[in-house]
Amino acid sequence: MGHRLGRVLIAHEEIARRVRELGLSLSRDYDGKNPLLVGVLKGAVVFLADLVRATDIPLAADFIAVGSYGGTTRSSGVVKITADLSVSIEDRHVVVVEDVIDTGRTISYLKRNLQTRRPASLKVVALLDKSERREVEVALDYVGFTIPNEFVVGYGLDYQGFYRNLPYIAALEEDSAG
Ligand code: PRP
């Protein structure tokens, strides 16, 4: 069975407006702190790219990639780092940037892992919160939008590697016609 793009859940203008607000919040909360934004590959790249341009404070960015042991994060629930940060985060004000929080397992693992590296502070900004799906309780410090439990693509989120380049977020629907 194939898939096709369904309705637009969050239009580009709506995303842009919310990203500007999040950028203002970060600029205010991290003024004078030279924060390090940590993008979680690959989905968060698009969001991070726009978010940093919505801030007006000195900051740095780095990236981390996560995978899972034995299939998907969803089936195993066990997360591993497949590409680590390129810098030390000791005594840095760290903000993890995620595109979507689903079960919460990835961000929960990442927070625990990064905390052992003794950052000055550690917070999370997530564009999308699929809160209905949560299996692990985790505090999110900044959230763009809370969304229903639907498979969504666009603005960094993919289906089999595709659709990340859409400027909006849309539902992906099963196409019985193939
Ligand atoms: C997504 C998202 C989070 C994770 C959230 O990444 O970017 O890292 O899943 O799910 P969880 O809360 O259930 O752990 P994905 O595995 O789709 O990888 P990608 O960002 O490279 O597309």
| 134-163 tens-digit pLDDT | 999 999 999 999 999 999 999 999 999 999
Tell me whether residue 124 is in a domain.
yes
CA of 55 to the centre of ligand 1 (A): 25
User: Which of 47, 72, 100 gets mutated to test ligand 1 (max ligand atoms within 8 A of its CB)?
Assistant: 100
Residue 79 belongs to a domain: yes
Domain count, the chain: 1
Quick one: DSSP state of residue 140?
-
- Residue 125 to residue 81: CA distance in whole angstroms: 19
CATH code of 19's domain: 3.40.50.2020
Domain that includes residue 144, residue range? 12-150
Percent of residues, the chain, with pLDDT higher than 90: 89
- Alpha helices, H only, 11-102: 12-29, 44-53, 73-76
- The predicted-structure confidence for 29-82, as pLDDT tens digits, reads as follows 999 999 999 999 999 999 999 999 999 999 999 999 998 775 554 556 689 999
Active site residues: 102
Task: Answer yes or no: is 101 within a domain.
Answer: yes
Find the 32 Cα to ligand 1 centroid distance in Å. 31
Q: Which atom of ligand 1 is nearest to the CA of 66?
A: 8
Output the ligand 1 site: residues, CB below 6 A. Answer: 40-43, 73-74, 98-106, 158
What phi and psi values does residue 132 have, to the nearest 5 degrees? Answer: -60, -25
Which residue shows structure tokens 């007006």? 56
**142 belongs to a structural domain:** yes
